[in-house]
Structure 1
Amino acid sequence: MTIVATGPSPSATAPAPAGKDVGPLLRAWRERRRVSQLELALRADSSARHISFIENGRSRPSEEMVLRLAEHLEVPVRERNSLLLAAGYAPHYPETPLEDPALDALRDGLTRLIEGYEPYPALVVDATYTVVAANRGIAMLLEGVADELFQPAPNAMRLTLHPEGMAPRIRNLREWRGHLLEQMERQIGLQRSGQLRALYEEVKAYPVPEDAPGGEPDEPVAYFALPLRVEHGGRILSFVSSISTFNTPMDVTVAELAIETFLPADPATAKYLHTHAG
C-alpha cells in the first residue's frame, strides 16, 4: 500500500472572489439546498428577518453565525473557509498536507484499514479523485493499464474510464460509466470546483466504442447493487462499491478524503480473489 504525498490543492475549490460579500454566497448555498429563509432560521436559532438582512448585505453576520449557517446548510469545509473570508474573518479550518507529521496517525490508520481489507480492493482518493492510497487488490485490477495514466499522479476516474485504462475490460462499461458520471455531477453540485468540472468534461469526452458492453451479465445474476463487472485473467469479477468519509472533519484535507471499498458481489469473485491473493 502506498500513501502518495500531496500538498494543499487550492485549485480543488475556487476561493471566494476578493471583496465579495458573504450574503450572496450564503443565499446561493441556501437555494442550492432548497431551504427557505424561515426553515434555515429555525435550524440556526435565528429569525427569517435576520437571515434576509444577512443575504441582502444589510447585516454582517458574526463568525459564529457564519459557521452555524454553513453547518446547517451542509457546506463543505473548504467552502466554509471561503464564506468566512468573504465575511471578513480568518479561515477556521486548517489544510494540512497529507505528508505532514501531524497526520501520521491518519496515514497509519488508512494503511491499516485498506490493507486489512485485502484481498478485496480498496483505495483512498481526494476531492478530485487523485489516488492517495491503494491496496494490492486495486493493483491487481489495474494490471495492463497504460503506464502514462499513473503520471504525474494516478486519478481514479482516468484509470477507470480511459480507453487505455480499465475501460476495455469493464463488461458493463456503459452502465458503470453512467454511474461514475452521475456521481461526479452530484459532487460538482455540492462544491464550486473548477478542477473537478474540468476532470468531468475530460472523462465524459472519452470515446465509448459502439460495441462497448452494456449492463446485461453473461449469465442471469441477481445483484443487490449496481456491480462493477471487470475481466481479469479470463474471468469476470463482480464488485459492489461503498464510499466512506470522515465524520465531522476539522481539517480541509481530511474532509476531502474518501475511502472506496469493493466487495465481491458473488461467491465466485470472492473465491478468485482469495485464490490469487499474493
Structure 2
Amino acid sequence: MTIVASDAIALSPGSSEPGIGPLLRRWREQRRLSQMELALRADSSARHISFIETGRSRPSEEMVLRLAEHLDVPVRERNALLLSAGYAPHYSETPLTDPSMGTLRTAMERLIKGYEPYPALVVDALYNVVAANRGIMMFLEDVPKHMLAAPLNVMRLSLHPQGLAPRILNLREWRHHLLAQMDRQIALQRSSELRALYEEVAAYPVPDAPDHADSELDEPVAYFALPMRIAHDGHALSFISSISTFNTPMDVTVAELAIETFLPADAATVKYLQTTDM
C-alpha cells in the first residue's frame, strides 16, 4: 500500500531578516563555532567573517554557499541566506507530485515495498507521511479514523492517547526518544511549525502501559538499540528504527524527505511477521 500525502511543507522562511550578517552569526553561534574556526573551515579569514556578520562586507554567492556548507545549514535555509545576501535561491523546491519527481517517487515506492513484510515509510520535514508500505498497516489496526486523516503525522499517531501510544509497551522510553529526535532537528533548523508540533505532542498525556497476553515474544531479549515494543493481537513485537536521507540533495523537497524502516529486533518478531497475513 502506498499513501501519498501533501507536498513538501513550507518551513519558516527567514526572508524577513535584515541581512545575512545576523543570520550567519546566528547559525555560527548555534553550531558553537568561533569566527576563527569557521574561517579556517571555509578557507577564509576571521576578519572577513567578522565583516560579513557586521554588514561591512557583502559575501559572494560562492562564499555564502561555502559558509552554509561548513555550518551544516539545511537546504531550505541556505536559500534564505542567499536571499538575505541579495542573491537568487540556489535550490529549487519541486512538489513531490510534479512529473519530474516521477523517478524519485517510483524508486521510494519500490524501496519500501521491497522491505515488506517489515514496516517502512517516507516522511517529510514535519513527519507527515508521504508513502508507506503494507507493513505499516499492522500499526494502524484499531486506530480511530480521525487519527488517520490526511496528512497522517507520525509523531501525532505515535504519541496521541487515541493513536499508538496505548499499544506501545515501552511508551515512556520511546516517547523520550521521539521527543529528543525532534529536539535535535529543531536545533538544526529554524522551523516554527516543527516547534509547534513538538509542543503539541509533548503535552499529550502519557497513558499507562497496556496489558498484553504472554507469548513467546515476551522472553527476555538483549537488544542492541532501543526498540519500539508494540502490542499486536496478543503479541509483543519489537522493532529497531533506522532513518535514511538523501546525500547532497539539490532540491528542498528532496532534502526534507526521510525514509524510516523498522527492523525486527528479535527472531520471534521476524517469525511472527513472516507467518502473519497483513
Q: Per the shorter chain, which TM-score range? A: over 0.9
In structure 2, what residue type is equivalent to 1:212?
A
Give 1:47's match in structure 2, choosing from 45, 50, 59.
45
2:18 to 17, 20, 41: 20
Give secondary structure in 1 for the equivalent of 2:93.
coil
Query: Structure 1 length as normaliser, TM-score?
Result: 0.95
- Which residue is equivalent to 1:143? 141
Contact 1:5 1:98 (8 Å CA) reproduced: no
Residue 9 of structure 1 deviates from its aligned partner by 2.4
List alignment gaps of at least 5 residues for structure 2: 211-216
Distance (Å, rounded) in 2 between the aligned partners of 1:68 and 1:162 = 41
Matched AA of 1:238: S
User: Equivalent residue for 2:213?
Assistant: none
Cα distance in 2 for partners of 1:15, 1:121 equals 33
The aligned counterpart of 1:239 is 239
Counterparts of 1:163 and 1:19, CA distance in 2: 39
1:190-201 superposed matches below 5 A = 190-201=188-199
Which residue of the partner structure matches residue 160 of structure 1? 158
CA-CA distance at 1:8 after TM superposition: 4.3
State the match for 1:257 in structure 2: 257
Corresponding residue for 2:185? Answer: 187
Inter-partner Cα distance in structure 2 for 1:80 and 1:186: 19
Residues 71-82 of structure 1: pairs in structure 2 closer than 5 A: 71-82=69-80
**Counterpart of 2:131?**
133
Asked if 1 retains the 8 angstrom alpha-carbon contact of 2:9 and 2:124, the reply is no
Q: What are the within-5 Å matches in structure 2 for residues 105-116 of structure 1?
A: 105-116=103-114
Q: 2-side partners of 1:5 and 1:166: how far apart?
A: 20
Q: What residue is the counterpart of 1:9 in the other structure? A: 9
The residue identity in structure 2 corresponding to 1:131 is: V
Q: TM-score, normalised by structure 2?
A: 0.95
Query: Cα deviation per residue 1:101-143 (whole Å; 9 max; x = unaligned)?
Result: 1110000000000000000000000000000000011111111
- Look up the SS of the partner of 1:46 in the other structure: coil
Asked if the contact 1:16–1:85 (Cα under 8 Å) also holds between the matched residues in 2, the reply is no
Tell me the distance in 2 between the aligned counterparts of 1:19 and 1:136: 44
1:39 CA drift (Å): 1.4
Q: 1:176 is matched by which residue type in structure 2?
A: W
Give the 5 Å matches for 1:205-220. Answer: 205-209=203-207, 211-212=208-209, 219-220=219-220
**Paired residues of 1:119 and 1:277 also in contact (CA < 8 A):** no
> What CA distance in whole angstroms lies between the structure 2 residues aligned with 1:182 and 1:8?
23
The aligned counterpart of 2:214 is none
1:123 pairs with one of 121, 124, 129: 121
Instruction: Report the AA paired with residue 55 of structure 1.
Output: E
Q: Who is 2:273 aligned against? A: 273
Question: Matches of 1:267 and 1:19 in 2, distance apart?
Answer: 53
Q: How well do the aligned residues superpose, as a CA RMSD in angstroms?
A: 1.4
Q: Deviations over 1:54-105 (max 9, x none)?
A: 0111101111110010001110000000101111111110000000011100
Q: Offset of 1:19 from its aligned partner?
A: 5.4
The list of structure 1 runs, each at least 4 consecutive aligned residues, that deviate by more than 3 angstroms after superposition, is: none
- In structure 2, the CA distance between the partners of 1:19 and 1:134, relative to structure 1 (3 Å rule), is closer
How far 1:221 sits from its partner (Å)?
1.7
Structure 1: stretches of 5+ with no match in the other structure:
none
Equivalent-residue separation in structure 2 for 1:49 and 1:3 (angstroms): 51
